[in-house]
Chains A and B, each alone.
Chain A
C-alpha cells in the first residue's frame, strides 16, 4: 500500500509569515494525526482527527496553528504567524486497527 504522503519536504520562512503543510493519509485510514518534532525531542501530538472531526487538539497552539481535514481524507496544517520556536519537523500519521504509519515529515525552518 502507498504510504502517508506529505508536502513540502522542506520549507524556510521568515518569522511572522504564514505556512501550510499538506498530508494525504493511507487510503481507508479514518484517524489522522499531526505531530511536531523539535530537534532532539520526541514527536508531540498537535491534533488528532477521526474522519473529518477533531478528537484531540488540546496541545495545538490555537492562537497561531489551525488544521482541517475536509471530506475526511487529506489534511492541512497551517501556522500564522510563525515564530522562531516553530522550527521543527511536522509529521503526519494515520492509523487503522493494525497500526500507525508515519509520513516523512516537513522540515520547517523559521528565520
Chain B
C-alpha cells in the first residue's frame, strides 16, 4: 500500500524568507510524486511533479521540490516566501509499477506567511 506523511500541520514563515514543507512517502516500487495547493473554497491546484530524471523539480510560482530516494522524501521549497503563498499544501504519491493510477494524499500542511 502507498502512503504519504506530512509531519507538520502548519508552517509559519516571514515574507521574504525561504520556506520548506516536508513530505515523506512509502511505496512498494518507484513513485510518481506531486505537490498541490488548495486555497479556501477552491479545488486542488497542481504545483509540480516528479516522474523521473533530475531530482530537483521546478514548478509553478517559484516552487521547487527535491526527490530523495534514500530518505523517501519530496520536500517542497521556495527561496523567498510571499504572503500570497499562504494556503494548504498537499503532497501526493502514485506507484509507477502498478495499474492503480489514483493518487494517495498526505494530510496537508497549512503554510502561513507573515508580512
Contact = CB atoms under 8 A, between A and B. Distances in A.
B35 interface: no
8 contacts: A42-B6, A42-B107, A43-B44, A48-B102, A55-B101, A56-B100, A93-B44, A104-B42
Interface of A: 4, 31, 33, 35, 40-45, 48, 55-56, 91, 93, 95, 99-105, 107
B49 interface: yes
Contacts of A99: 46, 49
A111 B99 CA distance: 38
A95 B105 contact: no
Interface residues of B, number: 22
Interface string B36-50: 100001111110010
A100 B43 contact: no
Contacts of A55: 99-101
Given A99-B46, A102-B44, A33 B90 contact: no
B31 interface: no
B108 A42 contact: yes
